[in-house]
Structures are given as C-alpha cells and as structure tokens.
C-alpha cells in the first residue's frame, strides 16, 4: 500500500464541521489534510443548500465565513428572531462555497476530494492513521490526531468506537431529506398569501422594509407552515405523496428564488439500498410538492422548477459514545459544564422518525457542550465533531444543527493542535488551554461562569 502522506491532523469530512476544523488546525500551525468523499467543500451548507443556520453563530471560523460572504453581498449577518429563539447568518450556497475555498487555501489546508475512508490503522487503543480509496487505488494516511467530522462517525466506527443509532425503543432515525430550488416565484405575492392565512403559518420572516419586488426579499424571506392547506388539498384529491405535514421556504440570492424543504424519506442512512431509494423518492416528492405549490399557493403560478440539491440531507446516523453523553435534560435545562467548549442556543429540532410531524423547541439561554462529548471511549488519537458527537437522541435534535456543529469542529481542532504540540493524547489535553484558545476567537463557552445571553 502506498503512503499518501504523514500529517499532524487529518480531518475526515468536508462539511461545515470539517471545513471549520481544518482551517483552525492549519492556523494553529498544524500540517493539515482535509479528506472528503465527494467533490464538494461545505457539505450540506453548499451542496445541500442548508443556508439558514438554526441558531446563533457566535465567533470563530464560521462567523468569519459568514461575514466574508456578506462582503460579497451573499449573506445576511443580522440577528433575526424566530418563535424558537434567535439566529444569524443566512447565506447563499455558492457564495459560501467561494468563501470556503478562499479561506481553506489561505490557511494552507491540503484538500483531498473523491477519497473514501475504508479502514483505520491502530496500535492498541491508539489510532495512527486511516486507509483511503481513490481513483489511484488504496492509500495510507498517517496522522498524530484524526478528527472524524464525517457526520456518520465512519472513522470512529472503523476504529471500534461504541456508538448509538436512533431511538432506544425502536432504532428509528430522523428522516432523510433534500431541499429543492424554484425560480421565477412572485415572493411578495407569496408573503401576502401567508399573511392572509397566518393561522396556517408557524413562522413568517419578512424584510424590515418590505417592498413590491423580489429583490426586496432576497436572502431574508423565510416561512414555515401550510399544514391545513396540505390537508385540504388531500381532501380535494391532490396526490400528496410526502410523509410530512408542513413546508419550509427560504429566499435565495437570486430575485424570485426559493429553496424549499419538504421532502422526507424514512430509513437508515447507513444502508446502501436505502440511500439509493431515497435519492429517487425524494425527487418524486419534490415534483409533487412543486405541483402543489403551483396549484394552491399564490405567487407560484409562473414558477420554474430548477433543481433538487445535489447533496442528500442525512439528518441522523451514528452518535459516538464519548466520555460524556449530553442529554435532553442538559439541553432543555440550560446546563453548564466546567469543560464546555461552546454555548449553543440551537433549538431541539426533531423530525418525527417514522412519522410526518416535527418539533422545534426553544432551549432558553442555551447550553454548554462538554469537550468530553468529542472524545470517544476506548479509542485514542481520535476526536469526533459535528453530527456524530456523544449525545442522546433528543439532545441530538439540537447539536446536529449547523452552529453547534461548527462549535465542535473548532474545539476539536484547538484540542488536536495542543495535543500535537505537547505530545499528548487528546483526552490528556488540559481543558483550560482549549478554552483559552476558543476565547481568543470570541466563542462563548457555556461554562458556569458564562454570562453571554444569546436570546
């Protein structure tokens, strides 16, 4: 087997978590490689059009990315209110892709796309590297620390880490989805329709100064609802094939562009047949939803179906068992921890496994995420970040959101850098040193002393 290279830090998965982690690690002086199976940097925030952070983006690399996107007129970095709390940083997917490429290259991160992790190299309990499969064949990567930001916990699983999957009672996970994109929508007419039917809307965000043209609503417009209208359409004989009872709308950067979240496919995102079927069924659902909108929602009469987001939205797979499992009670009770590495106000956002409903619950002033949730039991030389950290199935409904994922990516990188610089295992790194590095980048920690109020 050929040796591809030796690195201080290898980050696996180039979603927002891995992008943030690799940039921070490289800026800390680490020789850093970012490995990604697809050809896209940014994961769901670019290829999946997941362009509205569900929560506040506070400090750190991701805040910088949003601010730089705003300089291109491709992001709204104002703080906005929702019924579940506050959020910041709606952005355009392609502008964000451009910014990510700029910042990754400026930081000196080496990027390897179209490379799939197939195995790991261990000495006892310590991870020493990973095997990857590329067009050129199987290669070996050696690393002092590996950060698993794959979303699915692929590296951790291959390394033998214990993991949880789905609800304890039946193993069901939150459903798979994809945004689809529509052009030539009369968004002022849509907004007026929703205002006239407020009883059927969960949420409606419009510009501070509404106008009569689509340009006035770009990036800012956001809405969720239409449960009653969907039921009425079904009674009317409309063939609604989607196991979901509401629709979410986000205005894009192009005047008249809406990104729409409504598709839902139930199944295990780790199963190859499920993934293949999901790709097809989600497109059929998107076409059904588009037909519904043209028929039942004012402003869609001359709209054009542009595309289904190219990257499939996997909400839930493995959650690694770490040194601490963050719980639903922690999240709902605004828990603080001495080893917290970030304060998250992301709502508990759970799409009903096996069903058609969803909840979005406020978490008050936010909760701390312990560093222990990033440290797998029984495996050394490895940190997990993003969707696969150590949480229970309800806390996961909050920590899977983009702002929380970015926090864990940044913390994993700072921890990895300190470990490499001091010849320590990640679990041996003093928490105060990690926290000091995060505070330098204006990240509120979520410790008992944290006074920052994000609401």
Q: Is the domain of 85 the same as that of 162?
A: yes
* Domain membership flag for residue 240: yes
* Domain membership flag for residue 454: no
Q: Is the domain of 78 the same as that of 116?
A: yes
Q: Is the domain of 357 the same as that of 253?
A: no
The predicted pLDDT at position 278 comes to 98
Q: CB–CB of 86/403 below 8 Å?
A: no
Q: CB–CB of 145/420 below 8 Å?
A: yes
Over 80: is that where the pLDDT of 243 sits? yes
Only one residue has tokens 């990895």, namely: 416
* Domain membership flag for residue 448: no
Looking only at the bridges linking them, the beta strands covering 110-112 and 116-123 are unpaired
pTM to 2 decimal places: 0.97
Residue 177 has phi, psi (to 5 degrees) of: -150, 170
Q: Is the domain of 163 the same as that of 187?
A: no
What is the SS3 assignment for 68?
A: helix
Q: Is the domain of 204 the same as that of 258?
A: yes
Looking only at the bridges linking them, the beta strands covering 85-91 and 222-225 are unpaired
Q: Please give the residue range of the domain that contains residue 218.
A: 179-308
Only one residue has tokens 């910042």, namely: 103
Q: Is the domain of 209 the same as that of 285?
A: yes
- 455 falls in which pLDDT band (50, 70, 90)? very low
Query: Which helix (H) or strand (E) covers residue 103, if one does?
Result: helix 93-107
Over 80: is that where the pLDDT of 451 sits? no
Distance, in Å, from the CA atom of 222 to the CA atom of 251, rounded to the nearest integer, reads 6
Q: Of the candidates 284, 308, 332, which is a domain's last residue?
A: 308
- The mean pLDDT of the chain is 96
**CATH number of the domain bearing residue 426:** 3.50.50.60
Residue range 111-137: average pLDDT?
97
- 450 falls in which pLDDT band (50, 70, 90)? confident
Q: Is the domain of 132 the same as that of 187?
A: no
* Domain membership flag for residue 293: yes
Q: Is the domain of 265 the same as that of 143?
A: no
Q: Is the domain of 340 the same as that of 429?
A: yes
Distance, in Å, from the CA atom of 364 to the CA atom of 360, rounded to the nearest integer, reads 12
Q: Of the candidates 267, 290, 308, which is a domain's last residue?
A: 308
The predicted pLDDT at position 339 comes to 98
pLDDT tens across 278-292, in order? Answer: 999 999 999 999 999
Q: Closest Cα to residue 115, out of 78, 75, 155?
A: 155
- Please enumerate in sequence order all residues whose Cβ is within 8 A of that of 296, keeping only pairs 6 or more positions apart, or say none: 229, 233, 238
- 454 falls in which pLDDT band (50, 70, 90)? low
Torsion of CA 182, 188, 193, 199, to 10 degrees: 100
The predicted pLDDT at position 34 comes to 98
Q: CB–CB of 398/332 below 8 Å?
A: no
Residue 180 has phi, psi (to 5 degrees) of: -125, 160
pLDDT tens across 126-171, in order? Answer: 999 999 999 999 999 999 999 999 999 999 999 999 999 999 999 9
- CB-side exposure of 284: number of CA atoms within 13 Å? 11
Distance, in Å, from the CA atom of 239 to the CA atom of 227, rounded to the nearest integer, reads 15
Distance, in Å, from the CA atom of 358 to the CA atom of 375, rounded to the nearest integer, reads 30
CA of residue 69 relative to chain centroid, distance: 18
Q: Is the domain of 136 the same as that of 201?
A: no
Residue range 370-384: average pLDDT?
97
Q: Of the candidates 283, 308, 333, which is a domain's last residue?
A: 308
Q: Is the domain of 125 the same as that of 16?
A: yes
* Domain membership flag for residue 22: yes
Over 50: is that where the pLDDT of 242 sits? yes
Over 60: is that where the pLDDT of 248 sits? yes
Q: CB–CB of 9/31 below 8 Å?
A: yes
* Domain membership flag for residue 30: yes
Q: Is the domain of 241 the same as that of 118?
A: no
* Domain membership flag for residue 449: no
Tokens found for residue 274: 């499920």
pLDDT tens across 405-448, in order? Answer: 999 999 999 999 999 999 999 999 999 999 999 999 999 999 99
Q: Closest Cα to residue 441, out of 16, 23, 63?
A: 63
* Domain membership flag for residue 455: no
pLDDT tens across 188-221, in order? Answer: 999 999 999 999 999 999 998 888 899 999 999 9
Provide the angle, in degrees to the nearest 10, between the axes of the packed helices 272-296 and 227-235: 90
| DSSP state for residue 37 in the 8-state scheme | S
Number of domains in the chain: 2
Looking only at the bridges linking them, the beta strands covering 201-205 and 222-225 are antiparallel
Residue 325 has phi, psi (to 5 degrees) of: -105, 110
Over 90: is that where the pLDDT of 96 sits? yes
For the chain, the three-class secondary structure string (H helix, E strand, C coil) is CEEEEEEEEEEECCEHHHHHHHHHHHHCCCCEEEECCCCCCEHHHCCCCCCCCCCCCCCHHHHHHHHHHHHCCCEEEEEEEECCEEEEEEECHHHHHHHHHHHHHHHCCEEECCCEEEEEEEECCEEEEEEEEECCEEEEEEEEEEEECCCCCHHHHHCCCCEEECCCCCCCCCCEECEEEEECCCHHHHHHHHHHCHHHEEEEECCCCCCCCHHHHCCCCEEEECHHHHHHHHHCCCCCCCCCCCEEEEECCCCCCEEEECCCECCCCCCHHHHHHHHHHHHHHHHHHHHHHHHHCCCCCCCEEEEECCCCECCCCEEECECCCECHHHHHCCCCCCCEEEEECCCEEEECCCCCCEEEECCCCCEEEEHHHHCECCCECEEECHHHCCECCCCHHHHCCHHHHHHHHHHHHHHHHHHHHCCCCHHHCCHHHHHHHHHCCCCCCCCCCCCCCCC
């Amino acid at each position: 087997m050929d040796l591809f290279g030796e690195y201080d830090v290898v980050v696996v998965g180039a979603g927002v978590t891995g992008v943030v982690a690799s940039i921070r690690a490289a800026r800390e002086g680490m020789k850093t490689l970012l490995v990604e199976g697809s050809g896209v940097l940014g994961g769901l925030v670019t290829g999946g059009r997941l362009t509205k952070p569900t929560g506040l983006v506070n400090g750190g690399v991701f805040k910088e990315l949003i601010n730089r996107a705003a300089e291109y007129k491709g992001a709204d970095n104002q703080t906005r209110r929702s019924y579940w709390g506050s959020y910041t940083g709606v952005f355009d997917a392609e502008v964000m892709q451009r910014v990510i490429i700029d910042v990754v290259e400026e930081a000196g991160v080496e990027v390897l796309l179209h490379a799939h992790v197939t195995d790991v190299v261990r000495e006892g309990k310590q991870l020493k590297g990973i095997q990857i499969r590329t067009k050129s064949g199987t290669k070996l990567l050696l690393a002092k620390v590996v950060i698993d930001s794959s979303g699915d916990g692929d590296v951790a699983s291959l390394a033998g880490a214990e993991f949880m999957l789905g609800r304890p009672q039946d193993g069901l996970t939150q459903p798979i989805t994809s945004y689809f994109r529509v052009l030539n929508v009369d968004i002022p007419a849509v907004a007026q329709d929703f205002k006239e039917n407020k009883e059927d809307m969960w949420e409606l965000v419009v510009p501070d100064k509404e106008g009569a043209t689509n340009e006035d609503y770009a990036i800012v417009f956001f809405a969720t609802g239409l449960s009653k209208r969907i039921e009425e359409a079904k009674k009317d004989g409309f063939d609604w094939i989607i196991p979901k009872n509401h629709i979410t709308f986000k205005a894009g950067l192009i005047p008249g562009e809406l990104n729409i979240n409504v598709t839902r496919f139930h199944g295990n995102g780790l199963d190859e047949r499920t993934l293949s079927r999901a790709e097809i069924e989600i497109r059929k659902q998107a076409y059904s939803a588009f037909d519904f909108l043209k028929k039942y929602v004012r402003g869609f009469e001359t709209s054009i179906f542009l595309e289904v987001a190219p990257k499939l939205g996997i909400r839930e797979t493995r959650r690694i068992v770490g040194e601490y499992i963050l719980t639903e009670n922690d999240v709902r009770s605004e828990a603080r921890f001495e080893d917290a590495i970030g304060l998250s106000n992301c709502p508990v956002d759970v799409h009903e496994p096996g069903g058609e409903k969803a909840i979005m619950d406020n978490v008050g002033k936010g909760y701390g995420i312990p560093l222990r949730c990033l440290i797998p039991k029984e495996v050394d030389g490895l940190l997990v970040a993003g969707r696969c950290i150590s949480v229970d199935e309800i806390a996961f409904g909050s920590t899977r959101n983009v702002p929380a994922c970015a926090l864990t990516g940044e913390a994993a990188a700072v921890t990895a850098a300190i470990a490499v610089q001091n010849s320590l295992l990640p679990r041996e790194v003093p928490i105060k040193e990690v926290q000091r590095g995060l505070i330098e980048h204006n990240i509120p920690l979520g410790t008992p002393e944290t006074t920052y109020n994000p609401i």
